[in-house]
């Protein structure tokens, strides 16, 4: 397979087959086969991100996911959002996040800022 940008689903399938073949050989780092595997994986990732983009979750879902994955209780969010009442308002979609809250959540909990700045609906 000639290495070039992937522009079709057929080329994508061909690249995946080549990646599978190379991984089966378990190439050592620094070899031509390992370099080829790395380049193909990058090309496949770029194609998949372009062809089948995945939107980030809305901010409230991103916060809930981070809490669930890390085992943070709601109380831990108070340091980022300001108060117990504010945490409740945000998680129940009665109040929007401020830029300061976004930064705090990103800085303290590692939630991607891209997910936190996405527009979202408030509860009716």
CA–CA separation, 78 and 85 (whole Å) = 9
Fold type of domain 59-116: 434 Repressor (Amino-terminal Domain) (1.10.260)
What end-to-end distance do the CA atoms of the chain give, in Å? Answer: 55
pLDDT digit string (tens) for 102-112?
A: 999 999 999 99
DSSP symbol at 71: T
Q: Is the pTM of this model over 0.85?
A: no
Domain range annotation of the chain: 9-51, 59-116
Is residue 6 within 8 Å of residue 12, measured between CB atoms? yes
Q: What is the mean pLDDT of residues 29-42?
A: 90
pLDDT digits (tens, 9 = 90+) for 50-105: 999 988 889 999 999 999 999 989 999 999 999 999 999 999 999 999 999 999 99
């Amino acid at each position: 397979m000639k290495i070039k940008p992937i522009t079709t689903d057929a080329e994508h399938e061909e690249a995946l087959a080549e990646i599978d073949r190379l991984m089966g050989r378990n190439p050592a780092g620094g070899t031509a086969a390992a370099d080829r595997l790395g380049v193909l994986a990058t090309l496949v990732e770029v194609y998949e991100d372009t062809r089948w983009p995945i939107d980030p979750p809305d901010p409230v879902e991103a916060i809930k996911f981070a809490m669930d994955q890390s085992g943070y209780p709601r109380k831990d969010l108070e340091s980022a959002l300001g108060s117990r009442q504010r945490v409740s308002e945000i998680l129940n979609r009665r109040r929007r996040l401020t830029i300061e809250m976004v930064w705090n959540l990103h800085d303290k909990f590692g939630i991607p800022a891209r997910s936190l700045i996405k527009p979202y609906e408030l509860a009716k």
